């Protein structure tokens, strides 16, 4: 077993993020409200906005009415929303939608890494590239180690949300900073923050 190269580590991370994104979209569409894809599209749009701007946005019902009136006033036809199109309750806000999908995203991440590391001893991306997570000393992880790694990930993700609200940042910027902070030490010491504080390491299986 050898230390994992930066290229292999980076590639495995990309695979994991792609799989998580696909899973997120899949479950987001399952737990959606209203027109398929509309709520998810709203969430992706909200990711570009500073946190307080999302907080101060009107209700979705009011937003739909404004969109309808805008379309009519600019000659896009006399289309009117049906009761099904405006299924959202009058009190439901964009912040409700944002928090809903953030929670779904966090749950998918935690389950993805916990289940993979418990059954495969590595995330799917690492497994595909012949890597494995072990305890320092090259001994196999136990259930406690997997819980520790998942707990650290949960703590970091929740901390990122708190920082976003505190500093009034957009989710896109926070996500970028999160992944940079999480894996910055990989470039210098070949271990991520999760590896470091869980006393584990990623190794390459020849």
Paired sense of beta strands 2-3 and 200-204, if any: antiparallel
Query: DSSP E strands: which ranges in 89-160?
Result: 131-135, 139-140
C-alpha to C-alpha distance for 177 and 170, rounded to whole angstroms: 11
CB 40 within 8 A of CB 25: yes
C-alpha to C-alpha distance for 14 and 19, rounded to whole angstroms: 9
Residues in the chain: 206
**Which H helix or E strand runs over 185?**
helix 171-189
Cα 11 to Cα 17, 30, 32, 195, distances in angstroms = 10, 29, 31, 17
Kindly report the three-state secondary structure assignment for every residue of 13-69.
HHHHHHHHHHHHHHHHHHCCCCCCCHHHHHHHHHCCCEHHHHHCCCEHHHHHHHHHH
Q: Give the bridge partners for 204, in sequence order.
A: 2, 131
The whole-number mean pLDDT for each consecutive block of 10 residues of the chain, a chain of 206 residues, reads 84 95 94 74 90 76 63 60 47 80 96 97 95 91 96 96 95 92 84 93 89
User: Terminal CA-to-CA distance of the chain, rounded, Å?
Assistant: 6
Would you state the pLDDT for residue 94? 80
Would you state the pLDDT for residue 206? 75
Would you state the pLDDT for residue 72? 66
Sequence-ordered list of residues with C-beta below 8 angstroms from that of 38, at least 6 positions apart, any chain: 32
Would you state the pLDDT for residue 69? 65
pTM: 0.83
SS3 content of the chain, % helix, strand, coil (to 5): 65, 10, 25
pLDDT averaged over every residue in the chain: 85
Span 105-145, pLDDT tens digits: 999 999 999 999 999 999 999 999 999 999 998 899 999 99
Would you state the pLDDT for residue 91? 46
C-alpha to C-alpha distance for 9 and 106, rounded to whole angstroms: 22
Would you state the pLDDT for residue 67? 63
Would you state the pLDDT for residue 76? 60
- Taking the CA atoms of 181, 185, 191 and 196 in sequence, report the sign of the dihedral they define: negative
Q: Give the bridge partners for 93, in sequence order.
A: 59
Would you state the pLDDT for residue 85? 46
């Amino acid at each position: 077993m050898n230390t994992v190269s930066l290229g292999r580590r980076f590639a495995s991370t990309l695979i994991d993020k792609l799989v998580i994104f696909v899973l997120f979209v899949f479950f987001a569409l399952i737990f959606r409200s209203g027109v398929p894809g509309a709520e998810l599209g709203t969430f992706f749009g909200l990711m570009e906005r500073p946190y307080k701007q999302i907080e101060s946005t009107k209700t979705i019902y009011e937003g739909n009415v404004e969109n309808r009136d805008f379309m009519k006033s600019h000659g896009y036809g006399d289309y009117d929303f049906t009761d099904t199109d405006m299924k959202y309750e009058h009190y439901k806000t964009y912040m409700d939608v944002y928090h809903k999908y953030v929670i779904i995203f966090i749950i998918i991440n935690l389950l993805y890494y916990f289940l993979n590391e418990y059954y495969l001893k590595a995330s799917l991306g690492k497994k595909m590239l012949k890597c494995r997570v072990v305890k320092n000393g090259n001994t196999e992880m136990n259930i406690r180690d997997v819980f520790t790694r998942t707990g650290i990930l949960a703590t970091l993700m929740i901390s990122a949300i708190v920082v976003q609200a505190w500093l009034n940042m957009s989710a896109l910027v926070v996500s970028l900073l999160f992944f940079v902070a999480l894996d910055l030490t990989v470039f210098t010491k070949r271990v991520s923050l999760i590896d470091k504080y869980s006393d584990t390491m990623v190794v390459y299986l020849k």
